[in-house]
Amino acid sequence: MKEITRKLNGEIKRLTNKTFKFDERVGEGWFSAVYFLKTRDIVKNEMPENRVTMQFFQKQHAVLCGTDEAIALIHTFAENPEELEIYSLKDGDKISPFETVMTISGPYQSFGYLEGIIDGILARRTSVATNVYNVVKAARTSGKQKPVIFMGDRDDHYTQQAGDGYSAYIGGSTAQATHAMNEWWGKEGMGTMPHALIQLFKGDIVKATYAYQKTFPDDELMALVDYRNDVITDALKVAREFGDELKGVRVDTSGNMVDQYFFRNSDVMGTFDPRGVNPELIFALRRALDDEGFNHVKIMATGGFTQDKIAKFEEANVPVDMYGVGRSLLKMKIGFTGDSVMLNGEPEAKEGRKLQYNPRLEKVEYILQDES
């Protein structure tokens, strides 16, 4: 059983290193800024009895993510982690600018060298979770929540897929493109066909779809219909061939291409940008499918979608049933700062910083990794 299931069942409060599987070199300081390592060594020699409080915050309205990972990091690599006092918000909490999301109290030499890594975890996870949350929110502008599929595999380093997939899950994405993206939260990757499959059948969408159905008979059948830049023609081809078995079509027209529909119907041109996946193309596709009785066929739109583009589609009631989003969800827009603000029970911090009490913080229980 995955830890996320135990957490959702209330058996444990937070995920541990059984989920995150940290690189052991973290404990050797390999990923810490050298000045943190030097400070640790100086403090060990000069003032070993110190006790500091470090707090973490950021400067935007956001959806917090990465707290379980950061806490597991501390519990795994800090010296005598059971003696540290940690208070934290939870993954998925909505946070405000400058709100303290976590505090750690204990000897600096025990955990201080992890400061930059904690900042990085919180920054990346919160950025992705917030990006996804905003896109998911945009996808319900019309009053109906449209599913958002996280398709960030080609826009990210593969080693980041598990963490980014978990962050997308926290932000509200219900499906992910790869198995790795689902590793921390328990599902399998979701996907249908790429352009490469159609290319192998020399552009024949019907043959490619038959091959897909034969190999994966239990999947809901969805065809990619923009390979020949003639979305409506190919969508109708597969709909006529597969009838009720066809559950959906995906439109992924390149942003520098104009679909053949507009050249056949030049009278509709002139008042909008006809490139890529645009509202007029989707409206035309929906009409064409409905006119032939294929009302059951859903439309998935992918390729260059952002929060703003989805919001515009939804405000115009464009008949998209689900969105696939990638690159825009991976932009790092949020940075965290860790500050030491108390020393041996007394306020002591860089000018302009002080302990910011947050009544929402909850005390974190120390759990040995092998007891989780």
pLDDT at site 237: 98
Question: Side-chain half-sphere of 26: how many Cα atoms within 13 Å?
Answer: 23
pLDDT digits (tens, 9 = 90+) for 244-269: 999 999 999 999 999 999 999 998 88
Q: How far is residue 130's CA from residue 91's CA, in Å, rounded to a whole number?
A: 11
Amino acid present at 231: V
Closest by Cα among 247, 184, 157 to 18: 184
If you average pLDDT over residues 236-244, what whole number do you get?
97
Q: How confident is the model at residue 152 (pLDDT cuts 50, 70, 90)?
A: confident
| Distance, CA of 278 to CA of 255 (rounded, Å) | 9
Residue 354 has pLDDT above 60, yes or no: yes
Which pLDDT score, from 0 to 100, does residue 174 have? 83
The CA distance from 141 to 210, in Å, is 36
Total count of residues recorded for the chain = 372
Instruction: Give, as one character, the DSSP assignment of residue 220.
Output: P
DSSP secondary structure letter of residue 49: T
Helix, strand, or coil (residue 94): strand
Please give the structure tokens belonging to residue 221. 């059948």
Cα dist from 356 to 14, 100, 168, 186, whole Å = 24, 6, 29, 36
Looking at residue 2, what is its pLDDT? Answer: 85
Of the listed ranges 37-41, 124-128, 138-142, 256-260, the least confidently predicted one is: 138-142
Q: pTM score, two decimals?
A: 0.92
Q: Which two tokens stand for residue 67?
A: 């707290």
Q: HEC string of 147-211?
A: CEEECCHHHCCHHHHHHHHHHHHHHCCCEECCCHHHCCCCCCCCCCCCHHHHHHCCCCHHHHHHH
DSSP state of 23: -
Average pLDDT over residues 29-49: 96
Is 299 a residue whose pLDDT tops 70? yes
Q: Quick check: 171 and 130 in contact, CB under 8 A?
A: yes
The DSSP call for residue 4 is H
Mean pLDDT of the chain: 94
DSSP 325-369: E-GGGG------EEEEEEETTEE--STT------TT-EEPPP--G
Q: What angle separates helix 115-138 from helix 307-315, to the nearest 10 degrees?
A: 20
Inform me whether the pLDDT recorded for 157 exceeds 60: yes
**Burial status of residue 39 (CB atoms within 10 A of its CB: 0-12, 13-18, 19 or more):** middle
Rounded to an integer, the average pLDDT of 188-203 is 91
pLDDT of residue 368: 67
For the ranges 176-185, 281-290, 363-372, which has the lowest average pLDDT?
A: 363-372
Amino acid symbol at 330: L
From CA 100, how far away is CA 360, in angstroms rounded? 9
pLDDT band of 131, cuts 50, 70, 90: very high
Query: Cβ(268)–Cβ(280) under 8 Å?
Result: yes
51-55, 63-67, 109-113, 144-148: which has the minimum mean pLDDT? Answer: 144-148
pLDDT attached to residue 372: 43
